[in-house]
Structure 1
Amino acid sequence: MDWLLFTGINNLAGHWHDVDLVMRFLALYGPIFLLLPLVYLWFAKKEEKAGEERLMVLRAAAAASLALSLNLIIGTCYYRPRPFVHHQVKFLIPHAQDSSFPSDHAALAWALTWSTRAKGMYYGMMVLSLLTMVARVYVGVHYPSDVIGGAVVGIIASLVIEHLWPLVLPVARRLALMLP
């Protein structure tokens, strides 16, 4: 099933130059664009909500850090070759032959997205996260289960941080006030 989904998506590559460009861009930089609303929230000068928004940004950063740490552990314990290593695929971006599972891009995207689900920007971030997942398969560097696994890791990391947040809230408040 994973291979069928992979080939169904990856076989679309190479037919439309403009779509290939967009997918390459999303595959490489999608999660970076998810950081932009958080950077805006951090530096926005809405005094009445500045502290609350900075705390949300810190919580999202903690969730993203946890998600990438979990991915590192999983990738070290379980090596899954990337699709282009053992198969003839339409390979649109250069990539190392490191472990494919779980996807760091998907984990980062969903940790940030899930952490902001109470804000109005959540739906836009969700769409960008989903497009990033599809793009990673489209360009030939992940199987669908890799990006789904990454998304699950990102969401779980966000939920863990959310659950632990009351324990670190006093430190996070001081940090939010100290940083520029």
Structure 2
Amino acid sequence: MNGFDLTILTFLTHGAFSTPFVNSAIKAIAGMYTFKGLLLVPILWWIWFRPTQRGEWEREIVIATFVSGLVALVLGRLLAHYLPFRVRPIYNPDLHLQFPVAEGEHELRFWSSFPSDHAMVWMSVAMGIFLVSYRVGIPAILYTAIFICATRIYLGLHYPTDVIAGLLIGVVVTYVMTRDSIRKPLAAPFLRWIHRWPGLCYAMAFVLCFELATQFDEVRMLVHAVSKVVAHS
């Protein structure tokens, strides 16, 4: 435990904002998909459909941003799996800190804390929004940092350095994926398919956006349940 993480966690857990109402509100914000992808993903749809002279470029950015979110999600899980395991603050008795109970998050006991995949995914999306419109992107970035990332620190699900690393990785992933040399060849086939089969493509885009908004949690739960059945059969 470094001094930076310990100082912030100690401040947050020693009555900085702690009241029953605040704790309940923060647990609700951190646990509900409405306060994560269901606010940021629709902004990508707005960018896609709004009339503008930069329509083709903006649509390429939306595609690259969506793919960046998927890349960030996969990369976050891979890093958490292959980097040295870091126990989450809420499950670390050596800290001697009392966190609000994060209901429904007990399975995270066995997931490494570093880096924060929430920070990676949603800062990646917010960065893509920022590249299109800084007036919308700056609020999106601030929203991601405060309502998605800071709440998870408050609940003891991540150390501050987990979140900072995730934010930086998310920014880098989207920055790289939106460069001309990557964005144009990446977006070209998607744009062709959408032009040829708009109904089918928009239906699939809706499903994929829903899964991104929920970070594929239900898919992961289904795969986990099936694997347990197969293992015991």
Scaled by the length of structure 1, what TM-score is found? Answer: 0.85
By how many angstroms is 1:121 displaced? 1.2
By how many angstroms is 1:52 displaced? 4.1
Matched, 1:129 2:144: yes
Greater shift after overlay, 28-37 or 126-135? 28-37
Q: Which runs of 5+ in 1 are unaligned?
A: none
Q: 1:9 aligns with which of 5, 9, 12?
A: 12
Could you tell me which amino acid in structure 1 is paired with residue 41 of structure 2? Answer: L
Matched, 1:171 2:174: no
Within a 5 Å distance, the mapping from 1:76-91 to structure 2 comes to: 76-78=81-83, 79-87=85-93, 88-91=97-100
Tell me how many residue pairs correspond in the alignment: 179
Say if 1:157 and 1:124 are closer, same or farther in 2 by CA, change over 3 A.
same
Q: Within 2, Cα distance between the matches of 1:84 and 1:5?
A: 14
Within a 5 Å distance, the mapping from 1:43-58 to structure 2 comes to: 44=49, 46=51, 51-58=56-63
State the percentage of identical aligned residues.
22
Say if 1:20 and 1:91 are closer, same or farther in 2 by CA, change over 3 A.
closer
Structure of greater Rg:
2
By how many angstroms is 1:50 displaced? 5.0
Q: Within 2, Cα distance between the matches of 1:10 and 1:61?
A: 35
Q: Which runs of 5+ in 2 are unaligned?
A: 203-233
CA contact (8 A) 1:102 1:146 kept: yes
Matched, 1:23 2:38: no
CA contact (8 A) 2:61 2:183 kept: no
Q: Within 2, Cα distance between the matches of 1:10 and 1:133?
A: 16
By how many angstroms is 1:20 displaced? 2.3
Q: Within 2, Cα distance between the matches of 1:134 and 1:148?
A: 10
Within a 5 Å distance, the mapping from 1:35-74 to structure 2 comes to: 35-42=41-48, 44=49, 46=51, 51-74=56-79
CA contact (8 A) 1:34 1:128 kept: no
| Aligned-residue CA RMSD (Å) | 2.3
By how many angstroms is 1:14 displaced? 7.2
CA contact (8 A) 2:65 2:178 kept: no
Q: Within 2, Cα distance between the matches of 1:9 and 1:145?
A: 15
Q: Within 2, Cα distance between the matches of 1:166 and 1:107?
A: 23
Secondary structure of 2:178's aligned partner: helix
The residue aligned with 1:117 is 130
